[in-house]
Structure 1
Amino acid sequence: MKKRFGLAAAAAAVVALLLSGCTTVPDAGAAASGGGAKGDGKTVGITFSDLSNPVWSELVQEAQTYGKDKGLSVNYVDAHNDAATQVTQIENFIQQGVSAIIICAVDANALKDVTAKAQKAGIKVVGYTQVLTNYDSQYLVDAYKTGYANGEAAGKWIQKNYGDKAVEWGLMDLPRFPEIIERAKGIKDAVAKVAPNAKLVATAPALTSEDGVANAENFLQAHPNIKMIATIGGGGAVGGNEGVKSAGVTDFKTFGLFGIDATQQEIQNIMKGDPEKSTISLGGGKAHGRTLIDITKELLDGKKVEKDQYMPIKAIDSSNAKAYYDEVFGGK
C-alpha cells in the first residue's frame, strides 16, 4: 500500500479550536446519534482517548467528512481518558455491527480482549499512535525520533543564541502514554547532546492548550531564568506560546518554545516571531484523518495493507514556515 505522506492532504487546520483546546463530541454509547455522518456504504466507529487534544479533534472531524466522500458512515466518540469507557465504546460498536473500528487507545493493554472480540466478529481494527495487541493495521509515530527532532532543533537554537552559557529549560511531557514517554526521552537526549550546557529544571504534563498556558506560567514563576521550553505536542505548544507572553516575557528573540504537530496556530506563531521557534510536522490532524480512512477503506475492500505504517517527520522553523503554511493551509 502506498504511504500517504503528502502535505497537500492536510488542508486548512482549526484556529479557534486550537485556542480552546476542546470540542464537543458524543460520549460512550452515543455513536449512533451524535458525532455521526451518513455514508453510502459500510460503517466505521472511531474511539479516541481524549478529544480535548486539538489535533485529534481535528482528525476525527476530517475522518468523518472524508469518510463520507469514500462512502463510509463514520461515527466518533471520546473516551475521556478512561480505559473502561473505551472498552464499553468498542463493545457498543461491535453490537452495532460496524465494519471497522479506529482506536487511539487510553490503555492498549486494557483493549486486548475487546479488540480480539471485534476481529472475531469480522470487524477490521485500525490502531493510531498507541500500539495494539490485536489489529489489522496501525498508523504510528516513531516516538523517539520525533522527540529527538524536536530536541535537536531546541538544542541548536540554544547553541546559536547562548553558546556555552548555562541555560535553564522546561519540558511539557505526558507520561501516561509509553509512546509519549519515548518522545520526551528523545527530546531530552537531543538537548543533552546538542546543548550540553542546558539544564532541565521543570517538567509538567500537557495535552491541551490550557495545560500549556498554565505550565508555561508556572515554569517561569518558579524558574524566571528559563530560556527554552520544549513540548511533546501541539496543544501544549499553542498554550505555552501564550503562557510565555502572559508570564511577562517580551523579548521573543532570546526565548524559544519548541513544539510537535505543526498545527496551523503553531505555524502562524512561528511566522509572527512569537516565542515558538520550531515545530515538528507529522503530517497534521487532517492528513492523519484521511490516511486512517484510506487505510480502513482498503482493508474493507480486501486490499493488501501494510500492518505498521509511520508518520513523516519534518522540522518547521522560520526558514520554511511560510512555504509549509501555503502548501498545507492554503496560505489563508
Structure 2
Amino acid sequence: MKKKVLAVVCCVAMIAAMAMGCTTKSPTSGGDKKDDGGEGGKKIGITIQNYENAYWAGVMSKLEEILKNEGYDATIVGCEENSAKQIEQIENFITSGCDLIMVHPNDADAVEEVCGRALDEGIKVMCWDNPMENTTANWVLDNTELGKEIGKTAAAFINEHYTADDKAQVCVIGKPDTQVLLERQNGIEAGLKENCEDNYEIVATIDGVVNNEVQSKAETVLQASPDCKVWVGVGAGAMIGSNTALLAEYGGAGKIPEDVGVITTDVTSEQLNSLEAGDEAVRAIVGFEGSNTDTAQACFEMFERILSGEDFSAEKNVYRPTMEINSDNIADIQKGM
C-alpha cells in the first residue's frame, strides 16, 4: 500500500552567553584577536564527534567545499567519540592561531575549559549541538522536541497498521552516552506514548550511530524478536543499519511487508534513496536540514556572522525555519546531497 511520506525538517539555532567557570564573559568574548570580518582568508578549525557517521561525513564534505571556494583556511577533524582527543584537537587549533573554532562535542562539559582558553586567546568559538557556556555562539537543536516529532511520525505509521489487539513490536535505537542524543531518544519515547493508541510495545532498545554497528545489533534483535517490525532511532546510522538488517531478514527490496517501517532523523543520500524507492523499510525521515548543502550553507553563514563581530547578546536564540521534504521536493533535496 503506497503512502505519502513526509520528512519534517526542524532545526533550531541558538546563541549562548559567554561564561568561564563562574565568571561570565562579555558577549564579544573571542572577538579581539584580529580585525573581524566575514571575508575569506580566515583560519577555521572544526572538530566533530564522529566522521564515520554518514550524516556528518556528508555535511562536512559540503562545508569543506564551501569554505575552500570562499577562500577560508579550514581544517576538519573527527575525535572518534574520544573527549581527550577532542580537547587535544582544540588545543592544536588554539596553537595554530585559528580565528574561529567550531566544536561538535563528544562531551560538552569536557571541552568547556579548553574552549574558555580559546576565548581568552581572542579566538571565537562556536558549538554545534550543545548550549555550552564558554563559546561565542551555540548552534543547537531542541532535541527533545525533535525526538517527539520522530515519535509522532512513527505513531502515525503504527496507528495505521496496528491495534490494541495486534500491537506493534518496536525497537528504539539511541545513543544514551551522548547527552543530546539521549534527549532525542527520550523525546522519541515520549512522542510514541503521546500519540499511539495503546497499540505498541517497546521490545528492544539498542544504541549506535554507525551503520554497520546498528545493523549487527538489529540482526540480534530480530533473532530474539522476529516480530519486531517498527524501528525508530536518533540518526542516519539507526535508519541505514536497521533498514539493511530488515532487507536481509525479508529477502530484499520489494519484499518488505507494509507494516514494517523505519523512522528516524538526519538526511543522507542513502536515506533519501531508500525513501524515494518506496520498496524498502524506510517510511519517514524527520530531519533538521534539507540537504547536505543546505546544512553546510547554513553553518557557513553562522561562521560569517560570528566572524563579522555581530552582537547576539540581545537575542541568543536564532531559529531556522522548518520545512517538509516530501514527494514534491525530494528531487530538489537530492540535488543538494
Q: How far off its partner does 1:324 sit?
A: 3.0
Do structure 1's residue 154 and structure 2's residue 139 form an aligned pair? no
In structure 2, the residue matched to 1:265 is 270
Q: Where do 1:137-176 residues align within 5 Å?
A: 137-164=137-164, 165-176=166-177
Given that 1:150 and 1:230 are in contact with CA atoms closer than 8 Å, whether structure 2 keeps it comes out as yes
Higher helix share: 1
Given that 1:140 and 1:309 are in contact with CA atoms closer than 8 Å, whether structure 2 keeps it comes out as no
Q: How far off its partner does 1:200 sit?
A: 0.3
Given that 1:141 and 1:310 are in contact with CA atoms closer than 8 Å, whether structure 2 keeps it comes out as no
In structure 1, the residue matched to 2:328 is 323
> Partner amino acid for 1:194?
N
Which residues of structure 2 form unaligned runs of 5+? Answer: 1-8, 10-38
Q: Deviations over 1:121-169 (max 9, x none)?
A: 1111011013322111121111011111111111111111113322211
Q: How far off its partner does 1:330 sit?
A: 2.6
Higher Rg of the two aligned structures: 2
Q: Where do 1:35-46 residues align within 5 Å?
A: 40-46=40-46
Q: How far off its partner does 1:65 sit?
A: 1.2
Q: Whole-Å Cα distance in 2 between the matches of residues 311 and 180 of structure 1?
A: 20
Shift of the 60–183 alpha-carbon distance from structure 1 to 2, 3 Å rule, reads same
In structure 1, the residue matched to 2:233 is 231
Do structure 1's residue 300 and structure 2's residue 294 form an aligned pair? no
> Partner amino acid for 1:272?
A
> Partner amino acid for 1:301?
S
TM-score (norm 2): 0.81
Q: Whole-Å Cα distance in 2 between the matches of residues 98 and 217 of structure 1?
A: 45
Structure number with the bigger relative contact order (C-alpha 8 A, sep ≥ 6) is: 2
In structure 1, the residue matched to 2:123 is 123
> Partner amino acid for 1:182?
E
Q: Whole-Å Cα distance in 1 between the matches of residues 186 and 319 of structure 2?
A: 19
Q: Whole-Å Cα distance in 1 between the matches of residues 264 and 161 of structure 2?
A: 18
| Equivalent residue for 1:277, pick from 278, 283, 307 | 283
Q: Deviations over 1:183-206 (max 9, x none)?
A: 111111111222222100101112
Do structure 1's residue 252 and structure 2's residue 254 form an aligned pair? no
Given that 2:215 and 2:241 are in contact with CA atoms closer than 8 Å, whether structure 1 keeps it comes out as yes
In structure 2, the residue matched to 1:84 is 84
**Aligned CA-pair RMSD:** 2.0
Shift of the 197–40 alpha-carbon distance from structure 1 to 2, 3 Å rule, reads closer
Given that 2:292 and 2:336 are in contact with CA atoms closer than 8 Å, whether structure 1 keeps it comes out as no
In structure 2, the residue matched to 1:4 is none
Percent of aligned pairs with the same amino acid = 24
SS of alignment partner, residue 131 of structure 1 = coil
Q: Deviations over 1:174-233 (max 9, x none)?
A: 001111111111111111222222100101112111123113212211101112010110
Q: Whole-Å Cα distance in 1 between the matches of residues 80 and 131 of structure 2?
A: 19
Which residues of structure 1 form unaligned runs of 5+? Answer: 1-6, 8-38
